[in-house]
Structure 1
Amino acid sequence: MPSWVIVGAARGIGFEFVNQLSANSNNQVVAIIRNQSTASVLNALAEQRPNIHVLETDIFSPDSLREAVAKVEKVTKGALDVLIHNAYSAGTEAMFWTPSQFTGKETELHLELTETIKANVIGPILTINALLPLIHNGNEKKLIYITSGAGDVDMTRKSRLAGQIGYSASKAGGNVVMAKYAGELADEGIKTISISPGWVETPATEGLTANPAVLEYLLSAFKRLDPDVAGMIKVEESVKAQLEVIARLDAESSGAFVSHHGDKKWVD
């Protein structure tokens, strides 16, 4: 029975992973969330599908993480096939400031970088390390990091996206970390990949793009990459494509950084 852990599963992309994976009753799906207050839809789905197991966990607390791993171990009988780390931070209120706009704003710069690096680099390392003994016992042995095309230097250069310093830098850092794990764990049959989900319509992105200026800023930038881009894609489409990329992950592609298409096409 394939086993999956989705970290950051309460809403959006993480929830859709749980939804699509749990539709197959052969899958055991553990949904790790930060707070039950945002998980009403997830809990409602779990009531309908007994193969969903919801765990409230603070991944930055060693005690909380150990408790979660113990519960996962019981659900999955000591083995884990696939870990998908989707939890992240988009940044602070200064997320769209350009580098020079932080001049004289050292406190804001520090907060922007520490917030995103903690969530997007340190968090995945803590989670992977905690669950790695179970991955060793799994059949698939796959570690998945949900990243962003914003972490790609060429994408940033061509789109001229000058803001989102913390988000972009931390996602790039996370991609490097996953490549490091790929190198370290290759001889043990463990494979990793960083997948950008595309420009996806989720509660988080809808909140940002509700501001017309932000929407125009992003759309203009993405049109420099693909003139045919009209807007965001549906979360169902993104997750379905990502699962196909995960299914194809093998030793040769381990450590790669790709889009939901399995290539470097970051937006549709």
Structure 2
Amino acid sequence: MPSWLVVGAARGIGFEFVKQLSATPTNKVVGIIRSQKTADEINALAKQNSNVHVIEADVFDVESLRGAVAKVEKFTDGKLDVLIYNAYSIGTPETMMLSPTQLTGKETALYAEINEAVKGNILGPMLAINACLPLIRKGSEKKIVYITSGAGDVDMTRISRLTGQIGYAASKAGGNVIIAKYAGELYEEGIKTLSLSPGWVETPATSTLTDPAIMAYLMETFGRVQPNLRGMIPAEESISAMLKVIGKLDMETSGAFLSHHGDKQWLD
């Protein structure tokens, strides 16, 4: 039975991965969540599907992570085919949309903006990947997928002229480089890695974008990159597309940074 681990599975993109993967009875799907406070939906799914297992863990705590991997190992019969790292940080709400110069004189806030994003989008993935590698080495698919963002693409930033999301964008770009580093290191073992952007997706994290002025600004900004932009896409559509890209991942594309389309079209 193919085994999958989704880190950051309680809501949004992570939950949709678990939902779609568990629809195939031969898949074994484990979802790691940060807290039971937001886990009602995935817990209900696990009750309905015996091929779903939910584990609460702190991916930044080595002991907690080690304990979670031991539980994964037991559920998946000692191996792991695909690791999907979906947990992330968007930085701090107070500074998230400030431009570089607007952080002048706000150095404490700047440090928090960068440090929190780096912790969530670079350190977290590395800790999880390193902890799971013994299981991945025993798997058949041997795939590591980092859910990233088009915000981490330099040309996307340059053309859109979106000056906010400094910590998020920079740390996602850094995460993409780390994933390419893993691809190089693990190449001889046949382990494949991928930085995969889901597109501009409707999730709980984007549900706050209801202000017409904010939405108009983003549509104008993103429209510089993709003139025919439709807007945000449903999570169901994004995950379905990403699973096809993951299915095609091979040694030739290992370490790449791709969109849910399998190319560089980052939005819808």
Q: Which band: TM-score by shorter chain?
A: over 0.9
1:34 partnered with 2:34: yes
Q: 1:218 deviation in Å? A: 1.5
Match of 1:250 in 2: 250
> Secondary structure, in 3 states, of the residue corresponding to 2:224?
helix
1:48 partnered with 2:43: no
CA deviation profile, 1:27-81 (whole Å, cap 9, x unmatched): 0000000001001011111110010000000011111111101100101111100
1:130 partnered with 2:131: yes
Alignment of 1:3-42 (within 5 A): 3-42=3-42
Q: 1:231 deviation in Å? A: 1.3
Match of 1:74 in 2: 74
Residues in 1 aligned to 2:49 and 2:56: alpha-carbon distance in whole angstroms: 18
Q: 1:131 deviation in Å? A: 0.4
Match of 1:173 in 2: 174
Alignment of 1:1-268 (within 5 A): 1-93=1-93, 94-207=95-208, 209-268=209-268
Residues in 1 aligned to 2:149 and 2:172: alpha-carbon distance in whole angstroms: 6
Residues in 1 aligned to 2:230 and 2:137: alpha-carbon distance in whole angstroms: 43
Q: 1:118 deviation in Å? A: 0.1
Residues in 2 aligned to 1:264 and 1:59: alpha-carbon distance in whole angstroms: 29
Residues in 2 aligned to 1:245 and 1:224: alpha-carbon distance in whole angstroms: 26
> Secondary structure, in 3 states, of the residue corresponding to 1:45?
helix
> Secondary structure, in 3 states, of the residue corresponding to 1:24?
coil
> Secondary structure, in 3 states, of the residue corresponding to 1:203?
coil
Equivalent position amino acid for 1:200 in 2:
V
> Secondary structure, in 3 states, of the residue corresponding to 1:9?
coil
Equivalent position amino acid for 1:72 in 2:
V
Residues in 2 aligned to 1:58 and 1:92: alpha-carbon distance in whole angstroms: 19
Equivalent position amino acid for 1:6 in 2:
V
> Secondary structure, in 3 states, of the residue corresponding to 2:242?
helix
Q: 1:217 deviation in Å? A: 2.2
- Percent identity over the alignment is 65
Residues in 1 aligned to 2:219 and 2:115: alpha-carbon distance in whole angstroms: 27
Residues in 2 aligned to 1:160 and 1:240: alpha-carbon distance in whole angstroms: 30
CA deviation profile, 1:159-198 (whole Å, cap 9, x unmatched): 1111100000000000000000000000000000000000
Q: TM-score, normalising length from structure 1?
A: 0.98
Residues in 1 aligned to 2:44 and 2:69: alpha-carbon distance in whole angstroms: 23
Equivalent position amino acid for 1:141 in 2:
K
> Secondary structure, in 3 states, of the residue corresponding to 2:205?
helix
Number of residue-to-residue matches in the alignment: 267
Question: What are the ranges of 5 or more consecutive residues in structure 2 without an aligned counterpart?
Answer: none
> Secondary structure, in 3 states, of the residue corresponding to 1:204?
coil
**Deviates most, 210-219 or 225-234:** 210-219
Residues in 2 aligned to 1:117 and 1:213: alpha-carbon distance in whole angstroms: 29
Q: CA RMSD in A?
A: 0.7
> Secondary structure, in 3 states, of the residue corresponding to 1:32?
strand
Q: TM-score, normalising length from structure 2?
A: 0.98
Equivalent position amino acid for 1:251 in 2:
M
